[in-house]
Amino acid sequence: MSEYLIKVSFWLHAYDSVTVEAETDEEALFKAKSAAVTLMQSQANPEAIDTDERCQGIIAYVDRISPGARRSIAEDVVFDDDRIGLVPDPAKSSPPSVVGTMR
């Protein structure tokens, strides 16, 4: 039996907020867009991170590990919760088709 190393990246919902002053709704929307850019570029931790909603992501890679070698067999396989939960047991059926780069 072979050993495989799998790296999974998944999206979390993060929430942050700022307060701005504006003369009009349009100005507030403009400032909101500017604030969004600033918050996205920030290295600071957001106010909240929702870890309960891990539903989309990428299987960054699947590598086969063998003595003296590591061989990539797949990378960048996109998934979401309604598809990844339906992956059949490989012992009971044929392998599922994979969307992504296969090597």
Per-residue pLDDT of 37-77, as tens digits, reads: 999 999 999 999 988 877 788 889 999 998 888 899 988 88
**Amino acid identity, position 46:** P
Domain count, the chain: 2
More confident residue, 17 or 2: 17
Asked whether residue 29 falls in the same domain as residue 77, the answer is no
Cα 53 to Cα 81: distance, rounded to the nearest angstrom? 10
Domain of residue 30 covers 14-47
User: Does residue 56 sit in the same domain as residue 95?
Assistant: yes
Q: Identify the pLDDT of residue 67.
A: 84
Given a contact cutoff of 8 angstroms between Cβ atoms, the answer to whether 32 and 24 are in contact is no
Local structure of 71: helix, strand or coil: strand
Give tens-digit pLDDT for 87-101: 555 565 544 444 444
pLDDT at 81: 62
Q: Tokens for 90, please give them.
A: 């490989």
The answer to whether residues 30 and 60 belong to one domain is no
Residues 71 and 86 both lie in one domain: yes
Buried b (16+ CB within 10 A) or exposed e, 50-81: eeeeeeebbbebbbeeeeeeeeeebbebebee
The structure's pTM equals 0.53
pLDDT of residue 79: 82
pLDDT at 6: 93
The pLDDT value recorded for residue 10 is 86
